[in-house]
Chains A and B, each alone.
Chain A
């Protein structure tokens, strides 16, 4: 029902002369005046601006990255020495479960959402997303869901069944605390956030592109995010079903996954991985998108084979639906299923390999500029290739059966997730920081950040392959001294190296955080176009104005901004691309055509109110259903307040502008 968002803007332009103080404020739901603040905390809490929401996504996701990172360090500390007692066995189980859950659902996905939120409208030449209030709702649901999930630490213990929560570990018998209930309900809330955001971003990309921007003129980042949103759209309902079933089993006495009562535990595995494998691509594709922007920019060349990169991204999206059972080779599916999923898994390596070739050929013959963003992007190519290659070997079912649930698997997926997804996100930080905050991150600190993370990833996760081949099981809480072995394959040695590596990564991340603070305090204003960039988001001020573009640009080609700066000129050596305009000149030409009347959606109380209802309902499910009724009431209040509120404020909601007669943006007044 919340989908019914009003999108047709009433002519609500306010000019200084037009807005008289005689109008009375429109009351939202007959009670409140709607929020209009442009500064202070209200400007953030009630905002519907995709850029502010993107920044909030980024900060909260970074916070959870630190939380999940600390959990990882505790795990590595526990495994640093024989018969260690840093963590109890129970706490260790909670730690690895929450480490994975936090990193996947509270860091990588929302950080990708942060980039998507901020840059998708800018890259397609729109002034906001299709449903600005739904966008705010997604963010608040993510925040509240994440906080809800983590309150379990203080309320009887966190979930301890591993991130894929197989039966019977997820049952009341083996996990009697409320941890799994928090996990189930928290993921439901975060899932709703992602679903809403997926719908919102798909509509934005399909419907709100600037004139002339065909699908095949869209930047690759936009393309990859679009593919991801479709994956989310169809994968999330499957995990929703699984979570509901588990919830009903734990709270209402059903037995969906209880073998003792005749249930089939494979049902959970299938439902989880039908979601879980597309999830892998949900995690990695935004990073592919980011480096497909960074590599051409810093190679001073167009992306090699744009169409191949786009289509292989879409192909990964399709084939990604047919490979889920390769997570279940050890579960006894039968030879036919195993063969089919083996072949499908090998097939998906083809589009991935196409991408790696295209990125490498983008570098080929380019004038390479080794900025920090570029180094992270190259880091992704190297590390993801290593992780991808060990991944393809897992498609071979007989080998995989040997490696299932060993550290070999842990090493593999950390190479693709940390080496692929996380390094890609860091590339994005360095590339787009000047766009978002108007200041360049320090490159010197950045290089240290990169090398520490790059070596850290290899130090941490390469030894895990050796550990796994030697048979060290995943999720093992202690290793006894007498079983460590000798020589090159000594478990103690490689475990210590892995722990050392994890602290190296942590140091790299710490340097990044220091860099952020240092940049905020010390750095001067960045130039308008510091990287000589190619895509539309750079064709506006840094940071962009509230309405993104003074006039909606008309698009003529892929890499529109580049082609406005450079033109082909005949020289005696044949035609050459020559810089004919500076970024400032391009921007000035656009500003000269600036629209005088721009309507922006107005802030709203209701997204945060509606979002608040869900964790209350969730606490109610765990402790007392009466509380759920209260939560449902808050939810309904939010829904009806939302429906009855026009998405664009009336003129009367604003105070008359203070200064004279100049035309002002609606939403910057007040």
Chain B
């Protein structure tokens, strides 16, 4: 592998600025960095999920997962989030075809679906709180809100990135390769979705 890579580097030898295009792995610097970051994120969620799995049964005589979760509601919001991955793919596809109008359209739809998911989570948290399960109620509730809250913050940051991207594309201020920037937001977005699949399965579907 190394030999082929080196060959590529040699052929693109005319570009050797501090941040040249000639990447040895064939993956651009930006994308490689995003992959590494997501690799690191896996262990962040790994730690949070382990904490939840350890504590999900520790709620004393109070409300536990079995009584608390509204699985139909969360299934719908999970579906919404998964669909947003589809629209994200559409956005990346449009960006690759240099179709700004459709890129913006799909990015906006993705952001909308993401916001719906976050909205459903806010609704869910509020109703749990009204049922008497707050952040400090039990070890179960603390670890549940921490895990899902961290995921919610990740989705929210994704939504901000998507909307900022729309604004930056509209004003034609993208620094760098537009399609690649959209693709990187896409990588992050898909990662957050995949993590939700794991969380939804472990937290909501498999009984404690």
Using a CB–CB cutoff of 8 Å, the interface residues on chain A facing chain B are 1, 3-9, 126-128, 130-132, 195, 198-200, 202-203, 206-209, 211-216, 233-238, 240-242, 244-245, 248, 252-256, 261-264, 267, 271, 547, 552, 554, 595, 598-601, 640, 643-648
Contact = CB atoms under 8 A, between A and B. Distances in A.
Counting from the closest, the 4 A-B pairs by CB-CB distance are: A241-B47, A7-B19, A237-B44, A128-B18
B175 A207 contact: no
17 contacts: A1-B157, A3-B34, A203-B36, A207-B24, A233-B39, A236-B40, A238-B44, A240-B47, A242-B47, A252-B135, A253-B135, A255-B142, A261-B139, A595-B16, A601-B18, A644-B168, A648-B17
Contact of B19 (A8, A237, A254, A264): A8
Contacts of A127: 16-18
Given A214-B3, A643-B175, A207 B23 contact: yes
B104 interface: no
B29 interface: yes
A353 B42 CA distance: 33
Interface in B61-106: none
Contact of B30 (A7, A214, A252, A261): A7
B176 A8 contact: yes
Contacts, number: 177
Contacts of A198: 36, 40
Nearest to B41: A237
Interface of B: 2-3, 6, 9-10, 13, 15-21, 23-25, 27-30, 32-34, 36-37, 39-44, 46-48, 51, 54-55, 58, 60, 135-136, 139, 142-143, 146, 150, 157, 160-161, 164, 168, 173, 175-177, 181, 184
Residue with the greatest number of chain B CB neighbours at <10 A, chosen from A237, A248, A256: A237
Q: Which of B20, B48, B173 has the most CB of A within 10 A?
A: B20
A262 B44 contact: no
A7 B29 contact: yes
Given A212-B10, A237-B42, A240-B47, 18 more contacts: A1-B157, A1-B161, A1-B164, A3-B34, A6-B19, A7-B29, A126-B18, A127-B18, A130-B19, A211-B10, A237-B44, A241-B51, A248-B135, A253-B135, A256-B139, A598-B17, A601-B19, A643-B175
A647 B175 contact: yes
A284 to B, nearest CB: 22
Given A9-B20, A212-B6, A254-B136, A4 B40 contact: no
A478 B139 CA distance: 38
A203 B33 contact: yes
B33 A200 contact: yes
B30 A3 contact: yes
A7 B135 CA distance: 43
A237 B46 CA distance: 9
Q: Which among B19, B160, B164 has the highest number of chain A CB atoms within 10 Å?
A: B19
